[in-house]
Structures are given as C-alpha cells and as structure tokens.
Homo-oligomer: A and B are copies of this chain.
Amino acid sequence: MSFEITKEYLEEIQQLIASKSNEHILNLLDEVHYADIAELVEELNFNDGLYLIKLLDSEKTSDVIAELDEDDREKILKELSAKEIAEEIDELDTDDAADIIAELPEEQKEEVISHLEDVEHAKEIVELLRYDDDTAGGLMAKELVKVNENWNVLTCVKEMRAQAEEVTRVHSIYVVDDNDILKGRLSLKDLLTTSTKTAIKDVFIKKVDSVTVNEEDEEVARIMQKYDLEAIPVVDEIGRLVGRITIDDIVDVIKEEAEKDYQMAAGLVEDVEADDTIWELTRARLPWLFLGLLGGVGAARIMGLFEGALEDNAILFMFTPLIAAMAGNVGVQSSAIIVQGLANDNLKGSISNRLLKEFSLALVNGAVLAVVLFAFTWIWQSDFNTALAISISLFAVIIVAGIIGTFIPLFLDKRGIDPAIATGPFITTSNDIFGILIYFWIAKLILGF
C-alpha cells in the first residue's frame, strides 16, 4: 500500500479546482484516506487547499483538519466561521476536538463551543480543556467502553453495542462500580467465551494499569512502553474512570521527546521545522549562537593573556582550533550518552562511578590521539618540546572535556533541570574555553614562556 502525491496528480487536482469540477473532485477523493488528503492540502496553494476543505463534507474534513500541521490548520480555521468550525469539531473524537479548540484565539473558543450540536460531546470537550497539555488529562479522550460490575454478560454486550457506536476502536472494556470507580477490565476473549448469564463480577480481571489525570505525559509514555500497553485508562483523584489514552497519541509524545533532545543538542532553543518562517528560525537559532560568540570572545581574551608567547611559540596558536574542536567533540559525545541514558531510564550506579568510567575511557582515547598528534607535530615542526606540549595538552583536555560532559548533565538532572540543555552549544562552548585555558597553561609549564 502506498499513496503518493505525484506532480501529475497534483496538477490534475489543481486543474479540477480551477474549473470547479466538484463532482469529479469528490469522486477522485472518495476513497482517499484523510491523512493523504491532509498531505494534499499542504501541497496545494492555500486557496486551493481551502477550496477542498470547503468542498468535502465535514465527516471527512474534520479528520483532515485534525491531521494538518498546526500552522496550516490555524490559517485554514481563520477562513471558517465559528459555526463551520463547530461542525468540524462535532465530528471529532473528544481529544482531537479539545486540542483544536485549545489552539483557537480566546475570543473564538466560547463561540465555537456554543455552536456545538451534541451537548454531551460539548460537555466532555469543555472538561478536557481544563487539563494541561502535557498531562494524562491533556492526552486522554472521553470515548471508551465501560461496563458495570453488577451487570451480566448479556446486558454488557447490549450496552457495549450502544457505546461502541460512539467509539471508533474498542481497545479495552473497563469495569466500574456504581460510583464509576475503576475496578478492572474485561477481556474480549472472556466475553466471547462466557455464557450470557454470567455476572461481570465473576469474570472480569481485577487488575488494570491506570494513570491519574495529572500524571506527566512523559511518565505515561514510559509506563505504556514498559508494560506494552495499547491503551491505558485515566482516573481522577478518587479513582473514577474519566478517560483513556491510546498508544498512537503516545507515539507522538515519544517522537517529540526524542526530537526535542536532538534539537537541543543541535543548539535550537525552540521546536522548529524547516518550513517555519525566517523569524521563527532566527528566534530558535540566535540565542545559542550568541552564547557561542560570547565563548569565542572569552577564548580570544584568554589567548590574549598568553600573547607574550607568540613570538617564540607561534605554532601553539595554530593548534588552538584543534584543541577547542577536540574538547567540544569529546564533550558532546559523553553528554549525549548520558542524556540518552537518562531519557531511557537505564543509567545505573552512582555519579562517581560514571565519572570514573568516563575518566578511564578518556584516558584510553586521549592516549591514542595524543600519540598520533605527537608524531605528526614532531615530524612537521621537528621540535620535541613543542610536540610534547601540544600532545600532552590534548591528552589533558580530552580527559577534562569528558568529565565535564559527563558531570554536567548528571548534575542538571539531579537538580531537576532537563539535562538535554547541557548537550550541544553549552558543552561545546564551555569546553572550548576550558580546553584553551588548560592548553596554554600546560604549554607554559613545559615550554616555560
């Protein structure tokens, strides 16, 4: 299976839109998945995309709108009236509906909600809007299948049929008591294999994993991954079943989390995409570049302190970029390993053990690299002392850089700060400065200027 938007396909659609061949367009898109239509809308120019959204019926376009990039969605929704938006929202599951309403401008939110036709649906959406984006409450949907422990299998199947109308996919059947307190779950298998008169009480599984509404999204992701869950029920503070989170929403959380770490490591302070505006990209990139500039100025001033060595030891100054680069590279490597270990929750042992290990590792790597550099410098400059000074400095710098790269993320994590901030420009810049300082200091000891 694969649907690809070829150039020809795109041109055909554009022509059909230009000639307003609505029947033809509807036929063409009838069998196409909403995720593909969303891609199509993003490929088309804005007016053509809007034309498609307005042409297709809201059962289909609601999903298309939910699937669009946030930026594109914002632009499209601006062109729709509150009533039109409400029609789309009416078709969506509560979680997507709440997400889209949350993105609307404050003054429009209430208007859209007041236009929702299904009052029950509207109430649920309003409830979901109360929760923070990055909590279980912000992720969950209200659509679920639940049965009362006091029913029997027959009543249960009957009730489930009614509930299933509202629910696109049945993940689990949750069992509650008369107060809506989550008691357990019912397996489809048992339901299929038990006589209709059996009481639910006698067949349901008393154990069910759940999270509370205020649980952080990353913790929910961790739990669902660890226990291989495809859906998890969400309960309120007193244990009442209030919603459920499915794994597809968690996939997004996991992906965003991994991408965020990568972006931080690359020196981007905001979540940006290649298609964002130059202003957004500048806002994400400039802060770390300023830090880099500051670091570079610091390095220049440090080198200025050793200006007296310039005349006799010019060669030292040629090697500062090498020292700085190696300090940066080693620091980035060690911090990345720690940050990933922390993110995957598989760092065992104490901080001092980590540092000791990194120290041994840096000892090995540093020695190999220092020997190579020594050989090269000696051959190039035929000056034993200079070659010695440069290579010993490299050795020392690699060790210090490795230890800083290991320590800072562990330290930040202990302090409750996201350690990912310590990768990338932060570690490179600080290691540049430390590296150059150590380098000139050791060179001075050996060469005596």
Contact = CB atoms under 8 A, between A and B. Distances in A.
A285 interface: yes
A379 to B, nearest CB: 11
A376 B300 CA distance: 12
Given A210-B1, A361-B281, A372 B261 contact: no
A72 to B, nearest CB: 11
A295 B266 CA distance: 20
Instruction: Give the one of A165, A268, A300, A303 with max B CB within 10 A.
Output: A300
Interface stretch (A119-127, A147-155, A336-344): A336-344
Interface string A291-318: 0110111011101100100100011011
A143 interface: no
A211 B1 contact: yes
Contacts of A281: 337, 361
A192 B157 contact: yes
A369 B329 contact: no
Interface in A219-265: 223, 225-228, 230, 246-248, 250-251, 254-255, 258-259, 261-263, 265
Nearest to A219: B2
A289 B329 contact: yes
A275 B337 CA distance: 10
Nearest to A394: B293
Contacts of A354: 274
B225 A251 contact: yes
A223 B373 contact: no
A272 interface: yes
A295 B285 CA distance: 25
B273 A346 contact: yes
Given A43-B348, A325-B324, A423-B266, A285 B192 contact: no
A273 B189 contact: no
Nearest to A167: B189
Nearest to A433: B321
Interface stretch (A21-29, A50-58, A103-111, A424-432): A424-432
Interface in A320-335: 320-326, 328-330, 332-333, 335
A282 B321 contact: no
A319 B281 CA distance: 27
B275 A303 contact: no
B193 A293 contact: no
Contacts of A169: 230
A290 B369 contact: yes
Q: How many copies does the complex hold?
A: 2
A322 B337 contact: no
A338 B274 contact: yes
A407 interface: no
B318 A304 contact: yes
Nearest to A35: B226
A267 B329 contact: yes
Contacts of A43: 348
Interface in A336-389: 336-338, 340-341, 344, 346-348, 354, 357, 360-361, 364-365, 368-369, 372-373, 376
Contacts of A274: 337-338, 340-341, 346-347, 354
A361 B318 CA distance: 31
A288 interface: yes
Interface in A38-73: 42-43, 69
A133 interface: no
Interface in A409-440: 423-425, 428-429, 432, 436
Contacts of A300: 315, 318-319, 321-322
Nearest to A1: B209
A282 B365 contact: yes
Contacts of A102: none
A346 B275 contact: yes
16 contacts: A33-B227, A161-B189, A164-B189, A247-B251, A258-B259, A274-B347, A275-B347, A285-B361, A286-B368, A289-B365, A293-B322, A295-B322, A299-B318, A317-B318, A320-B321, A325-B328
8 closest cross-chain pairs (CB), A and B: A296-B322, A266-B336, A258-B258, A274-B341, A300-B318, A299-B321, A303-B318, A262-B262
